[in-house]
């Protein structure tokens, strides 16, 4: 009788263990939240809205967005970094929150290399060097001559201190040797308006914000910061073509999870993202908005992050920028 009881208990235990299974087996079994640490209508929101329906379909669960803004994206990023690593709280954020802000803020509340695991880069936002349409310049060489002849009199606008466009514009100003003055605005949209009004003469921004003003000549695009020419503006040379490689850097957006997330869960998310980004319709929608899909593998991208952080650390140090 005792032997029968032991046998029954053994079978019951085995069945119970089998029923529980590994933590990732049924992932996801409820909605997945993606935190975007920037406001609705910003680049990250535009990109993710394109991905969201298909990502929900691939994961088999609703993917919801949660906007947690403030402190250069640090508030939302910190929240994800401190979340339970169960695959139900993800981060969709920009360059700053992975490789720049740690040099701008003394107390971010998280370490991007220790507290986050990057799934993959999703897209690059094509950064263009725009100038006011009334400037008597047609290319970067003429603009360089223009600013050097007017040292200290030419301004560049930025969407805010410490942003990728601001750091890029600062470095371009240094390379052009024009002693340009940076003026900060509350975002790219008012900065573009300032450029149109000639309050500033140069602004580094995305395709979507400035392209509408190119055909009528109110703005001119002198260069694009991409490995190759942007399809919608084939006559605009790359910064590298002009001999200014790594001077202006495009802002990129990536998907990440809290460090310590089970590798099987990470694999499911990465696989779903790959399928979404392979969809020609998704690629076309992103390109129409000025966003180019990454051409590097997830592993290559992750390996390159420390070197990219070193690059930005050098710029922040030379520019003397601190936001604490």
Provide, rounded to the nearest whole percent, the portion of the chain with pLDDT above 90.
71
Predicted local confidence at residue 24, as pLDDT: 59
> What's the whole-number mean pLDDT along residues 289-295?
86
Give the residue from 132, 56, 57, 44 showing the smallest Cα distance to 91.
44
Q: What is the mean pLDDT of the chain?
A: 90
- Is the pLDDT at 68 greater than 90? The verdict is yes
* Strand partners for 301: none
Which pTM was predicted?
0.83
Q: pLDDT tens digit string along 87-114? A: 999 999 999 999 999 999 988 999 999 9
Q: pLDDT tens digit string along 47-62? A: 999 999 999 999 999 9
Predicted local confidence at residue 25, as pLDDT: 75
Q: pLDDT tens digit string along 111-156? A: 999 999 999 999 998 899 999 999 999 999 999 999 999 999 999 9
- Strands of the 251-258 sheet, one edge to the other: 63-67, 32-36, 89-94, 251-258, 116-125, 291-293
Q: What structural domains and CATH numbers belong to the chain? A: 32-125+251-319 (3.40.190.150), 127-225 (3.40.190.10)
247 neighbors 175 (Cβ within 8 angstroms) = yes
Give the C-alpha separation, 202 to 109, whole Å: 34
Predicted local confidence at residue 5, as pLDDT: 46
Predicted local confidence at residue 4, as pLDDT: 47
Give the C-alpha separation, 308 to 316, whole Å: 12
By CB neighbour count within 10 A (0-12 exposed, 13-18 middle, 19+ buried), where does 262 fall? middle
Could you tell me the pLDDT band of residue 17, with boundaries at 50, 70 and 90? very low
């Amino acid at each position: 009788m005792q032997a029968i009881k032991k046998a029954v208990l053994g079978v019951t235990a085995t069945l119970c263990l089998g029923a529980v299974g590994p933590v990732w087996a049924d992932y996801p079994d409820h909605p997945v939240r993606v935190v975007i640490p920037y406001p609705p209508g910003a680049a990250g929101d535009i990109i993710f809205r394109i991905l969201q329906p298909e990502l929900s379909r691939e994961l088999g669960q609703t993917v919801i967005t949660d906007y947690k803004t403030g402190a250069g994206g640090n508030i939302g990023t910190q929240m994800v970094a401190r979340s339970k690593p169960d695959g139900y709280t993800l981060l969709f954020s920009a360059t700053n929150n992975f490789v720049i802000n740690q040099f701008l803020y003394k107390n971010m509340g998280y370490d991007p290399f220790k507290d986050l695991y990057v799934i993959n880069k999703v897209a690059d936002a094509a950064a263009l060097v725009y100038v006011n349409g009334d400037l008597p310049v047609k290319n970067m060489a003429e603009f360089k001559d223009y600013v050097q002849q007017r040292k200290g009199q030419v301004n560049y606008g930025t969407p805010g201190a410490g942003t990728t466009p601001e750091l890029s514009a600062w470095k371009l100003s240094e390379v052009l040797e024009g002693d340009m003055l940076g003026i900060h605005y509350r975002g790219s949209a008012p900065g573009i308006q300032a450029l149109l009004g000639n309050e500033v003469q140069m602004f580094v921004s995305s395709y979507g914000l400035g392209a509408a003003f190119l055909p009528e000549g109110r703005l001119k695009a002198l260069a694009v910061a991409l490995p190759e020419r942007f399809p919608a503006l084939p006559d605009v040379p790359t910064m590298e073509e002009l001999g200014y490689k790594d001077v202006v850097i495009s802002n990129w957006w990536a998907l990440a999870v809290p460090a310590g997330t089970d590798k099987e869960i990470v694999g499911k998310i990465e696989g779903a993202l790959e399928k979404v980004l392979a969809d020609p319709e998704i690629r076309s929608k992103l390109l129409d908005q000025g966003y180019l899909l990454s051409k590097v593998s997830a592993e290559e991208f992750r390996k390159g992050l420390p070197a990219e952080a070193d690059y930005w650390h050098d710029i922040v140090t030379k520019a003397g920028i601190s936001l604490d």
